[in-house]
Chains A and B, each alone.
Chain A
Amino acid sequence: MPEQHDVRLKTLETQVACAADQNLLDAFLRANTWLPHGCSQGTCGSCKMQVLEGEIDHRASSEFILTPHERSEGLALACQATPRSDLLVEPVAEVADDGVVRHPLRDVLGTVSALEDIARDTRRLVIDLDEPLPFTAGQYVELLVPGTEIRRQYSMANAPADTASIELHVRRTEGGAATAGWIFARMHVGDRVEVRGPFGVFGIGRPQNEPAILVAGGTGLAPMKSIVAAALAEDLVPELWLYHGGRTEQDLYDVEFFRDLDFRHDHFHYRPVLSEQDWDGANGMVTDAVLEEFPTCKGFAGYLCGPPAMVEAGRKVFKRRRMAPRLIHQEEFTDASDLARR
């Protein structure tokens, strides 16, 4: 068993044990001590913390995300850094009690109960869990690729009320270890899978006064499906729009599911948008469809999940329509091959 160190969090006067090969974020989340974080893989920088006492190992922290200057000032990425001694730390972002219920990070085993093709290069994967894994709509888990140490992140698409299994939407990446090499190749119903989670802060964590506009690209629909389910079940928002963008109809999925919700709920609106196929629905870039429908987004909250270019375009559209930047929330797909380049 690797050596353990005590890590104290200054603001909350909390202390956790952290193994010498365990990252600080992992140690705190397992102890159910919430820390600000986003991607948990060293790309977003939102888990930066100040190391006030003790020595850490930055491990794979990228110099692009954590600059040499920041390192010299004692900053560290909690999701990467491991302890070399006992530590006193303080997150850079505020640890506010924002009324959002947080769930501890756990390792859970599960069994693949469904695996189906639902759209072009896209599969729905359902894993029945050996024990419940509570999460907040919008959060994600990591799956361990069998026989490797590779972990890949996927957002839950099921309603958070349903804790017995998780539904994930997976898009095939050419040459990807987890997708082309596993989920789209040798995975079968009945396989055992190692799941770690929940992670992430994306989503509608508590009731809000602002109507919400959700914009998803491709499998960015997964967290949105969970958010829509939670928002409707728990009455979290006064009104809700869901935009889903794809190139052609082959990229859309769960269309009937959302059309039915739209039909049954006056305050939910479903907008599928295609960029490369004429059809009886909306055409063009999914973010342009938002621009067209909303003369102003002032007083709205925005949620974006999809490829980085779509998220970037969505942010611009929301700002152009004068949505307050603090009300714009985003979850980007981070491609593992991008990480290696950083």
Chain B
Amino acid sequence: MTTTEHNQDLSWLNDVTVTDLERDPYPVYERLRRESPVAFIPALGFHVATTKETCREVAANTEVWDGVISPAGGRTFGHPNVLNANGPEHDELRGMVEPSLQPAEVNRYIDDLVRPIARRYVEAIEDRGHADLVTHFCEPVSVRSLGDLMGLQSVDSDTLREWFHKLSVSFTNAAVSPTGEWANPDGFIPGDEARADIQRVVDPLIDRWIVEPDDSALSHWLHDGMPEGETRPREMLYPTIFVFLLGAMQEPGHAMASTIAGLWTKPDQFEQVVDEPKLIPRAIIESLRWTSPIWSAVARINKVDTTVGGTFLPAGSVVMLSYGSANHDANDYDAPSDFDLTRAPVPHLAFGAGKHACAGASFASEVCRIGLEELFEAIPNLERDDDHEIDFWGWGFRGPTELHARWEV
């Protein structure tokens, strides 16, 4: 139940289902931004923060708020992972994943890593004249880039895509019954399968990296900062590996696809960006605001009683930071549901804020940039295939499910 100072009747939230949110979360969140910026959604079993102000307040105040993973997320990844660790444990995990993701380091390797991958996937489709860009370009470029960085060259792109799809199903299997039980326990089966599969494939790689370290990110995770002759225990690594294999694999692809879909809503702007590749970063930024890939997947839990956005939250309340909603906050953006390259670039929250802000912001943005540069360079006559609708899906993670394009060959 939500106790608010707004005296708003929020009983309508009892009728909101996870399926509704996955299909289109915006109407519910728009109403919440107006009526109660922080509110309890019974179907989820936790609170959501929906405005930029409340998201920022919760994300930034580490005195009151710890990072926590949503219950379904915790069930999917296990502990400790970089999302729900706090204090020294979080510092260690962050310190483990950050070196290869720091912007200066990303600038050093990103072009050599991503451009050949993007070219390869463009070459595979460029003479076909049509393609579902999600399946044949955005997702493969995204998973191959990160996969190669992590040291997973031996895992083919389709397997990496299958893994993140399965993990995603589990992660977003958030629905609970009125008694707080999982509404759909079978929804965790795909994630459990993927985890077993991942361990089967990655365990031998870890065995090798322990004795033969290389420059891959996972090899560094094992060795960096450890005393001579010791490696980080793999149980310490796996939950964060799962975090990467879901979020970091899936989201650059979502962002790339949403950028194209957004530009297709404004054909003039699409044309302009194809003509002037220097506008691609700006298009990506607007797309991240317009359809934030990590729409609502990052949570916090309060250590003491507090009130945010007029809603009282007893200690131990889980609050989901709904960045996808915050980025449609009408206080900051006119006509927020419009994609518009020319809008004033008020900073968005797509990468979160505070200590748990996304470590891969630079990497992800660069993967998108290079992917789109190569796509528009090779296929400047790309256009939307109007025979197919563009359906966006997802409440935890959001992006187009398919993106059909055609061009003259």
Interface residues in chain A, defined as those with a beta carbon under 8 Å from any beta carbon in chain B: 69, 93, 298, 315, 318-326, 328
Measured between beta carbons, the chain B residues less than 8 angstroms from A298 are: 378
Q: Pick the contact of B377: A320, A321, A326 (CB < 8 A).
A: A326
Decide if A325 touches B381 in the complex (CB within 8 Å): no
Are A324 and B380 in contact, CB atoms less than 8 angstroms apart?
Answer: yes
Q: Is there an interface contact between B378 and A324, defined as CB atoms closer than 8 Å?
A: yes
10 cross-chain CB contacts under 8 A:
A69-B344, A319-B380, A322-B379, A322-B408, A323-B380, A324-B380, A325-B276, A325-B380, A326-B277, A328-B275
Chain B residues packing against A (C-beta within 8 Å): 126, 274-278, 344, 376-381, 407-409
Q: Which residue from chain B places its CB closest to the CB of A94 in the assembled complex?
A: B278
Cβ-defined contact, A325 with B344, below 8 A: no
Measured CA separation A226–B55 after assembly (Å): 60
Q: Contact between B380 and A322 (Cβ–Cβ < 8 Å)?
A: yes
Which one of A298, A319, A321 has the greatest number of beta carbons of chain B within 10 Å?
A319
Q: Does the CB pair B381–A319 fall under 8 Å?
A: yes
| Complex contacts, A321 vs chain B, CB 8 Å | 381
> Which residue, of B126, B277, B380, has the highest number of chain A Cβ atoms within 10 A?
B380
Query: Total A-B pairs in contact (CB under 8 Å)?
Result: 33
User: Which residue in B278, B344, B381 is a CB contact (below 8 Å) of A322?
Assistant: B381
Going nearest first, the 3 A-B pairs with the smallest beta carbon separation are A319-B380, A324-B377, A320-B381
What CA separation (Å) do A45 and B126 show in the bound complex? 33
Considering the chains assembled together, what is the distance between the CA atoms of A321 and B379 in angstroms?
9
Would you call B378 and A325 a contact (CB within 8 A)? no
- With A298-B378, A322-B126 already in contact, 7 other A-B pairs whose C-beta atoms are closer than 8 Å: A93-B278, A318-B380, A320-B408, A322-B379, A322-B409, A325-B277, A325-B380
CA distance A324 to B407 in the complex (A): 14
Q: Residue A315 contacts which of B275, B277, B379, B407 (CB distance < 8 angstroms)?
A: B275
Residues of the A chain whose Cβ atoms lie less than 8 Å from the Cβ of B275: 315, 325, 328
Task: For residue A301, give the distance in angstroms from its CB to the closest CB of chain B.
Answer: 13
Q: Give B17 Cβ to nearest chain A Cβ, in Å.
A: 41
Cα distance A328–B278 in the bound complex, in angstroms: 15
- A322 CB to nearest chain B CB (Å): 6
In whole Å, how far is B373's beta carbon from the nearest beta carbon of chain A? 9
The chain A residue sitting closest to B344, CB to CB, is: A69
Q: Which residues of B contact A325 (CB under 8 A)?
A: 274-277, 376-377, 380
- Which residues of chain B are within 8 angstroms of A319 by Cβ–Cβ distance? 274, 380-381
Residue in A closest to B278 when the chains form the complex, CB atoms? A93
B65 CB → nearest A CB, Å: 34
The chain B residue sitting closest to A93, CB to CB, is B278
Question: By CB atoms of chain A within 10 A, which of B377, B378, B407, B409 has the most?
Answer: B377
Minimum CB–CB distance from A231 to chain B (whole Å) comes to 24
A298-B126 Cα distance, complex, nearest whole Å: 11
Within the complex, what minimum Cβ distance (angstroms) separates A96 from chain B? 12
Set A318, A320, A322, A328: member contacting B378, Cβ < 8 A: A322
CA distance A243 to B145 in the complex (A): 43
Of A298, A318, A326, A328, most B-chain CB atoms within 10 Å: A326
